[in-house]
Amino acid sequence: MKITCLIIDDEPLAIQVIKAHLDKIPGIEIISTFQNPVEALDMIKSTKIDLIFLDIEMPLLSGIEFLKTLQHPPKVIFTTAYRNYATESYELDVVDYLLKPISFTRFFKAINKYKNLVNINTVEATVKEEESNNHVYVNANKKFIKLNFNDILYVESIKDYVKVYLHDKSVITKDSISNFEYKLPNEFLRIHRSFIVNTNKVTAFTKVDVEIGKREIPIGASYKDTVVSFLKDC
C-alpha cells in the first residue's frame, strides 16, 4: 500500500527538493503540493492523506498554526530553515523536524521513522482489539507483554514511563500514569500522583500509606480522603 502525502511550502524550490527526494523512494505517492496551507485544507478533509511535509514559516498562516487547526491531522514532518520551533513542534507529536537544506540521507531517515511509527501503531491497535476484561498488553523490550490484572500489585510513574510491579518481577513501559490508569479496571485505585494500587492486593493501610505485603506505598495528601473511604468500603 502506497504512502499518500502532501507537500505544503511557500517556496517552489523547497517543494522541488522534497519531490526529488521522494522520487528516489518507492511506495510514496505525492497527491498534491501547495504553497498556501489554507488551500490544502479541503483536500486533507476529503482525501486520505498519510503524511504531510509542512513548512513552518509561511505567510497568512504558519505550519504550526495550521496543524493546530486540524482535528484529526495526518502524520506531519516539518521542513523548515529555523531551529527555534523544534521544542514546540515535538509537543504537537510530529514525526520529525527537518532543517533546510535537507540532505537525502536525513530525509530518508525521517521516512523510515514514519514507517516504524506506523507499524508500531498498527500493532498496538491490533493488540488493543485482542485485549479482554482480565488483562492488558504493554510494549516493553521491543515486544508486547501480556499482564493479567490479577497479577499486578501496583503501578509507579517514573517520568515518561510507568513501572508495573508484579509478584515476581516488574515491567517498564513508556506511558503516562494517567493514560495507564484508563486501561485498568475498577479495582485499581490512584492513591498518589505517582502510584496506582490493586485494591485486591492491599493488606493494610493508614492515612499516609498503603501496604501490599511488605511494600509501603505513600498516599498523596490530595488523595487521602478518597483512598481511605474507598478502602474502608472494600
Question: Which part of the chain is CATH 2.40.50.1020?
Answer: 135-233
| E strand or H helix at 211 | strand 209-212
Measured CA distances, 113 to 78, 89, 132, 208, 231 (Å): 13, 16, 31, 45, 46
The CATH class for the domain spanning 135-233 reads mainly beta
10-residue mean pLDDT profile of the chain (234 residues): values are 93 96 93 95 92 94 92 92 79 89 93 83 55 78 90 95 95 91 88 95 95 94 87 77
Say if strands 135-140 and 170-174 run parallel, antiparallel, or are unpaired. Answer: unpaired
C-alpha cell recorded at residue 131: 485485549
The residue behind cell 500522583 is 193
Q: Exposed, middle or buried: residue 26 (CB in 10 Å: 0-12, 13-18, 19+)?
A: exposed
88 phi, psi to nearest 5 deg: -65, -35
Question: Which part of the chain is CATH 3.40.50.2300?
Answer: 3-128
Give which of 176, 174, 188, 167 is closest to 230, Cα–Cα.
188
Written as one letter, the residue type at 209 is: D
Q: Residue 167 carries which DSSP code?
A: S
Q: What's the rounded Cα separation, in Å, for the pair 141 and 111?
A: 23
Total residues belonging to the chain:
234
Is the overall model pTM greater than 0.75, yes or no?
no
* Residue 125 pLDDT: 56
**Architecture of the structural domain at 3-128:** 3-Layer(aba) Sandwich (3.40)
Rounded to the nearest integer, the mean pLDDT of the chain is 89
Give which of 167, 50, 54, 177 is closest to 117, Cα–Cα.
50
Contact of 174 with 157, CB cutoff 8 Å: no
Contact of 203 with 213, CB cutoff 8 Å: yes
Q: What's the rounded Cα separation, in Å, for the pair 190 and 56?
A: 40
